[in-house]
Amino acid sequence: MYKCIECGHLFDEGEEVTWIETHKEYNEPMSGCPLCKSGYKEIEPCKICGVYSDGEIYCEDCKKTVKERFMNLVNANFNRKERSLLNELYDCEPI
Ligand SMILES: [Zn+2]
Ligand SMILES: [Zn+2]
């Protein structure tokens, strides 16, 4: 999957537009976004749900859900004093 750097359009391999740029000495094959002909980059699907997002390894939805489930787990299993210990041990965002 590719993502346009300019307009953010997502498209598959083969959907990019190609054209030939003519220079004095040679012809240069070009390719670009099917909508705006800008440059594009290859993006990877989210490692958890397989959805293509903004070129991140994990999409925002999965980050949010996993974080929420983790918080629920921690809240259900540790009291406030134990949670502050966890914060010290793992040096993370306050739980
Ligand atoms: Zn574009
Ligand atoms: Zn995901």
Measured in angstroms, how far is the CA atom of residue 29 from the centroid of ligand 2?
A: 35
Confidence of residue 19 (pLDDT cuts 50, 70, 90): very high
Query: What's the pTM?
Result: 0.58
Task: Note whether residue 51 is domain-resident.
Answer: no
66 with 92, same domain: the answer is: yes
Measured in angstroms, how far is the CA atom of residue 54 from the centroid of ligand 2?
A: 11
Do 68 and 44 touch, CB atoms closer than 8 A?
no
Measured in angstroms, how far is the CA atom of residue 47 from the centroid of ligand 1?
A: 25
Task: Note whether residue 20 is domain-resident.
Answer: yes
Beta bridge partners of 21: 28
37 with 6, same domain: the answer is: yes
Measured in angstroms, how far is the CA atom of residue 8 from the centroid of ligand 2?
A: 18
Q: Which pair of tokens denotes residue 65?
A: 């859900």
Task: Note whether residue 1 is domain-resident.
Answer: yes
Residue 66 belongs to what H/E stretch?
Answer: helix 60-77
Measured in angstroms, how far is the CA atom of residue 90 from the centroid of ligand 1?
A: 42
The reported pLDDT for the residue numbered 92 is 64
